[in-house]
Amino acid sequence: MTTLKKVLKLRTVISTSVGMALATSCYLAGLQVATIVVGELAWISILVAGLFCFLSAMCLSELTSLYPSAAAIKLYIQNAFNERIAITIGMFYVVLGISMVGAESYILSSVMINAHVFISPMVDRIVWSSIFILFVAFLNYRGVKITGLAEDIMTFSKIGLLAFVSIYAISTIGIDFSPALASPNFTLPKIIQAAGVGVFLFVGFEWVTPLAEETTDYRLIGKGMLITVGILSILYSLFTVALWIGLTPEQRLSGTAIPHILLGRNLFGTPGVVLLMFMSALASVTSFNAGVLNTSRFTYAMARDNVLPKVFSNLHPDYATPWVAILGLTIFSMVVSVAIFITGKYLFIILMAAALECFIYSVMAICVLRLRKRYPDKPRDFKVPFGAVIPVITAVVFLGLMVGIFMDVTKDYAGRVLFANYWLAVVMAGFFVLCTLYTMLVVPVFKKEAAERSATRQRRRPGREDKGVRAAGSK
């Protein structure tokens, strides 16, 4: 029987976790953080956001040490509560999570068009996005070792380029903190508000948990997530400050979707545009790659547990990859991308994904508390220190951030209202109801079919007495 290969090391765990979080859309979020709190001091809010995410990573590390499985989040919730709740939330998580690919495709195509590489109709934008998605699907199809190596090369190259641009901008332009410290925007409420936005720079780092069955040591998952949050905290702090001081006041308020491209032009001229475009491409590909790599394993595990059609649990006989799951996610990603290109609602998807991540981080913290109560003596290779304090803080903080997203109003750079964010809650609640109905009505059918297949195999398998009768008859 073909099984997943245990080949991934700490390097690839980190590159996958960083690659999922560090997407092109994060450049926009970084500028928004710098706009809320005075730009030169944006690093304070980003470090606070990093601290929140570090607490969440600790909770996820404890859960992974308990259940190192491709089912990951579904298995944590199943053992903390029950299978029905786990299936509902798992379906809710994976479908809305992979929808981010559509938003990322839209922003990447905006980079290409606004940088005057492609000035063409929407069809060319869709083709460009499809090329990236199909390329990543092919890498994933060929095997986790090749996919992981590609993720290593691209992610660490991206980290190096971002660090270079950030340090160059800061050392060349310089930073004067005096005006920022005297600004009326430099207050504790503003710092916390900006940190709330800054949390969204880190979302997706936990998608590495479904790779636990393919690592040489499952404990690398927890260690990798903690290291990832540290890397992202430093990198985002540097680049956000560099972005702020490297843009003119007019560019900061222009509402551009490509602030990093403007930064590249300001720093290096035309070569800078090419460099930052290359960084955007790396960011999008690594995000696509990590997304397909992780969600395909999660989909595979759900099918293996008879929650999805059994065909999604098929592994390629040569590459040991869940090729049907990869194909299904590729088609779904392309459909979502086309829908976003037509509607232009990329910001809606980004905010919905952010709210989803806040919900999941809160649920994971609650799972830690539930599992400690239900299985206090179960061995844990990692346990969050200070008792219930950190899980409780994590659950409260991220629930508060999710509510804050729903209560906010999204505006453009001129202050015009784009949409009321409570529609995010309405759409997500509707989708959650659909996932619940799926769990109640469809999953039992798959479970029944699986039980019938198992019973049929048992009937076909000859017992010891049957073998003896056939042996006697042959004599």
DSSP helix/strand/coil, 409: strand
Tell me the pLDDT band of 113, cut-offs 50, 70 and 90.
low
Amino acid letter, 275: L
**Residues near 279 by Cβ (< 8 Å), separated by ≥ 6?**
158, 161, 162, 165, 260
Lowest mean pLDDT among 32-36, 42-46, 295-299, 456-460: 456-460
Supply the pLDDT for residue 198: 86
In a domain, 211, yes or no: yes
Which two three-digit tokens encode residue 334?
């392309």
In a domain, 468, yes or no: no
Give the model confidence (pLDDT) of 296-313 as tens digits.
888 888 888 888 888 988
In a domain, 3, yes or no: no
In a domain, 62, yes or no: yes
In a domain, 152, yes or no: yes
Backbone Cα Rg of the chain: 24
Supply the pLDDT for residue 207: 81
How far is residue 87 CA from its own chain's centroid?
Answer: 19
The parent domain of residue 165 ranges over: 10-458
Supply the pLDDT for residue 392: 97
Pairing of strands 417-420, 409-411: antiparallel
Tell me the pLDDT band of 421, cut-offs 50, 70 and 90.
confident
Domains in the chain, number? 1
Which two three-digit tokens encode residue 126?
């869709």
* 181 pLDDT higher than 70: yes
CATH of the domain at 126: 1.20.1740.10
DSSP string covering 355-391:
HHHHHHHHHHHHHHHHHHHH-TTS--S---SSTTHHH
Supply the pLDDT for residue 474: 43
Cα distances from 420 to residues 21, 61, 430, in angstroms, run 26, 36, 17
Stretch 129-152: mean pLDDT, rounded?
Answer: 78
Supply the pLDDT for residue 58: 96
In a domain, 463, yes or no: no
Q: 179 — phi, psi (to 5°)?
A: -60, -35
Give the model confidence (pLDDT) of 70-101 as tens digits.
778 889 999 999 999 999 998 888 877 777 77
Choose the most confident range, by mean pLDDT, from 10-19, 229-238, 466-475.
Answer: 229-238
* 123 pLDDT higher than 70: no
In a domain, 222, yes or no: yes
* 279 pLDDT higher than 70: yes
In a domain, 347, yes or no: yes
Secondary structure string (H, E, C) spanning 24-44: CHHHHHHHHHHHHCCHHHHHH
Choose the most confident range, by mean pLDDT, from 145-149, 161-165, 293-297.
Answer: 161-165
